[in-house]
Amino acid sequence: MKVLVTGSAGQLGQDLVPLLQAHGHEVMGCDRQEMDITDLDQCTEIISGFAPDAVIHCAAHTAVDAAETDIDAAYLINATGSRNVALAAEKAGAKLVYISTDYVFDGMGTEPYHEYDNTAPQSIYGKSKRAGEILVQSLSSKFFIVRTSWVYGKYGNNFVKTMLKLGQEKPLIQVVDDQKGAPTYTVDLAYFLVKLVQTEKYGIYHATNSEFCTWYEFTQAIFAEAEDILGLKFTAKLEPCTTEQFPRPAPRPRYSVMEHLAIRTNGFQDMRPWREGLKDFLLELK
């Protein structure tokens, strides 16, 4: 297959491109320099020129707090940019994979969200990503919408790397213990995307590592596994705190655990538990 990946220099893109190549696919990785997704003509020209069988759209405005004040930028990239990629992919006859987020839900649930539960994003980031979903559904005849959460990997900045650093520098770290979700390792997500894109099992998918935890429990696991695998010594005392003690510009979902209904009903193997992914990530860092 010929696959074009947007956001190829991002956290997910940098794991996805080599994995697709390792599976024998011809890959064109496009980051901002190679293709400006906010320019429809450029998207059409580049995607038509490469003539891919599939486009995996990883590019996004993911600065959750910044989006609250720079609303235009969030919508320009997540909505308009996704529309441009969808139109260009459709014109080229390509399948489209749109990477979305747990932020499309209100986070007030107590049971894992199904793929077809009503969305109700609370932040500008969530609203702009939901707008992208709607445009993809409207404009693409062959689409996969893949919602994920709490993503971390070898490339770029993320929660795991931040905690590894702070744990060795700070005397005390307070981490919220009243927000639940599923940490997702980019390599595990990339493997799922490679399998998915080779099928015609179109629709919405929730793809995270399985099982869930709070941010505080995640941090406990990061410290425990890093001491074991990397031999690190953490000076920081770890304390749970509430969301109210840690105010942020953008509201965070209190509960963003997502049910993997579509993965099961379409016959895919579920993604492994998050703690196994974390161990492999730390081994990769080592």
- For residues 161 and 181, what is the distance between their CA atoms, to the nearest angstrom? 18
pTM of the model: 0.97
Domain boundaries, the chain: 2-158+181-211+257-274
pLDDT single digits (tens) 45-95: 999 999 999 999 999 999 999 999 999 999 999 999 999 999 999 999 999
What is the mean predicted confidence (pLDDT) over 4-26? 98
Mean pLDDT of the chain: 97
pLDDT single digits (tens) 157-199: 999 999 999 999 999 999 999 999 999 999 999 999 999 999 9
Residues with a catalytic annotation lie at 125
pLDDT of residue 105: 98
pLDDT single digits (tens) 137-160: 999 999 999 999 999 999 989 999
pLDDT band at 2 (very low <50, low <70, confident <90, very high): very high
- For residues 97 and 188, what is the distance between their CA atoms, to the nearest angstrom? 16
pLDDT of residue 30: 97
- Please tell me the CATH code under which domain 2-158+181-211+257-274 is placed: 3.40.50.720
pLDDT single digits (tens) 229-277: 999 999 999 999 999 998 899 999 999 999 999 999 999 999 999 999 9
pLDDT of residue 95: 98
pLDDT of residue 258: 98
What token pair was written down for 115? 């793929």
Straight-line distance from the first to the last Cα atom of the chain, in angstroms, rounded to the nearest whole number = 33
